[in-house]
């Protein structure tokens, strides 16, 4: 390995580097596919407009425009912001066959995707709050409740 790149791609960060970058709880969820308890996450009931970014690398993942209240206790979205922003994998852990969602940029675990979401996609991206960082639309601190 040569050291020609100033900044390593996030995908190749070492375990120790991830530990430094994340809180203990984020590290557990994002890097070891943990799941936070339902209804405790900061983003569950958030109605603010903005972009939800990956807590691991800061890349945009979901828009508040595609967030909906699924009643699951985790932030839920029906579509990621871009086709490459979220990558899906088959997850056979816990004796179930589920679709895991991970960040397309850094590979951090985000949550799972279920086929019972609302139109138009019919998909439900069930994401751990701790995997997300909301980047609000306007920095004025106002409530974005203009419906
Ligand atoms: Zn990421």
- CATH number of the CATH domain containing 18: 2.170.150.20
**Rounded to the nearest whole angstrom, what is the distance from the C-alpha of residue 12 to the centroid of ligand 1?**
12
The SS3 call for residue 20 is: helix
Q: How far apart are CA 67 and CA 80, in angstroms?
A: 10
Q: Which one of the listed residues 43, 54, 103, 126 is annotated catalytic?
A: 126
Instruction: Identify whether 126 is a catalytic site residue.
Output: yes
**1 found inside a domain:** no
Question: In sequence order, which residues have a C-beta less than 8 Å from that of residue 50 and are 6 or more positions away?
Answer: 63, 64, 134, 135, 136, 137, 144
**4 found inside a domain:** no
**19 found inside a domain:** yes
**146 found inside a domain:** no
Question: In sequence order, which residues have a C-beta less than 8 Å from that of residue 37 and are 6 or more positions away?
Answer: 73
**How would you classify the pairing of strands 50-54 and 109-114?**
unpaired
**Rounded to the nearest whole angstrom, what is the distance from the C-alpha of residue 147 to the centroid of ligand 1?**
30
Total-model pTM: 0.85
What confidence score (pLDDT) does residue 141 get? Answer: 46
Domain count, the chain: 1
**138 found inside a domain:** no
What confidence score (pLDDT) does residue 6 get? Answer: 53
**140 found inside a domain:** no
Token readout for 109 is 């675990």
Per-residue pLDDT of the chain (147 residues; tens, 9 = 90+): 444 445 667 888 999 999 999 999 999 999 999 999 998 888 888 888 999 999 999 999 999 999 999 999 999 999 999 999 999 999 998 899 999 999 999 999 999 999 999 999 999 999 999 999 999 987 544 454 444
Token readout for 124 is 């439900």
Q: Are 29 and 125 in contact (CB under 8 A)?
A: no
Find the domain containing 120 and state its range.
Answer: 14-133
**Rounded to the nearest whole angstrom, what is the distance from the C-alpha of residue 3 to the centroid of ligand 1?**
23
- Within 10 A of 99 (CB to CB), how many other CB atoms are there? 15
Q: Are 130 and 26 in contact (CB under 8 A)?
A: yes
User: In the block, which residue shows the tokens 């070891």?
Assistant: 32
**142 found inside a domain:** no
**Rounded to the nearest whole angstrom, what is the distance from the C-alpha of residue 41 to the centroid of ligand 1?**
18
**Rounded to the nearest whole angstrom, what is the distance from the C-alpha of residue 17 to the centroid of ligand 1?**
14
């Amino acid at each position: 390995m040569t050291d020609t790149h100033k900044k390593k791609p996030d995908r190749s960060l070492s375990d120790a580097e991830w530990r430094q970058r994340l809180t203990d709880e984020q590290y557990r969820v994002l890097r070891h596919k943990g799941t936070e308890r339902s209804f405790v996450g900061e983003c569950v009931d958030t109605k603010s407009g903005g972009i939800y970014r990956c807590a691991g690398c800061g890349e945009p993942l979901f828009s508040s425009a595609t967030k909906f209240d699924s009643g699951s206790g985790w932030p839920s979205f029906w579509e990621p912001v871009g086709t490459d922003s979220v990558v899906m994998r088959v997850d056979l852990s816990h004796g179930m066959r589920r679709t895991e969602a991970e960040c397309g940029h850094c590979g951090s675990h985000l949550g799972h995707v279920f086929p019972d979401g609302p139109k138009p996609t019919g998909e439900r991206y069930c994401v751990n709050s701790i995997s997300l960082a909301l980047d609000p639309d306007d920095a004025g601190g106002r409530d974005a409740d203009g419906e």
